[in-house]
Structure 1
Amino acid sequence: MPAKDEEELELRQTHEALSIILSDDSAFEAVLNTVFEDIDFKLDGSVDNYELERYIGNACAGMGLAPPETGQIHGIFLHLDLNNDKAISREELAVFLRHFFQQQVKFCALKLHLPRAP
């Protein structure tokens, strides 16, 4: 299969999967729970800066990428910590994931030249 066809197939699959996750509350909750549990390795119900740095570092290593600088991760942390309590709650992560998934759906639709949703 040519690379362009593979890219289009991947974009279509991503668009469909994320659209389903966004339209099905139980699917979104399942993804949210999985991601939150992966990040919250202390199992205390919130994510601190160290846990976020560890998670992002592991994710980067798994993709063969260098991890971001500590200051960059702290900036991400501050962006996710909506109430400035120095912890990311499950609800705060949900806000981020929903927005991120919506942006990815838009990106895929744009690349695939799909009509915009109302």
Structure 2
Amino acid sequence: MRRSLERSDTLISLRNKEIATLNSRLAAKDETIAELDEQIGRLDSELETERADREKVEAKLTDREKEIEELRSELDEKADLSDKAGNLLNWLRKIVKSLPKEVTLTKILGILEES
């Protein structure tokens, strides 16, 4: 019986060592999980910052695209006005054979823009 108790004590001691080892490994895994949670938190924060920065850049890009479209529209209007002024000047030259040299396309454009 004594021998049986000694074996039981030995087995219990071995099991306790195994449990201690497993508890130690579990604690290490818990630390790893906690560290990974912290990293995920930092990465989430960085991701939010990057998203906010991207949204700002996209907003600026949209504003620039609108500006470019407005400039293109203005350029089209000015080109159209220039064509009209050129046509008007040619028409005037046909009507008045000797149009004075001081009547230039720039002056006609100025007159047209004023009206």
For this structure pair, what is the TM-score category when the shorter chain's length is used for normalisation?
under 0.3
Greater Rg over alpha carbons, structure? 2
Higher helix share: 2
Query: Structure 2 length normalisation: TM-score?
Result: 0.22
Q: Which has the higher contact order (CA 8 A, sep 6+)?
A: 1
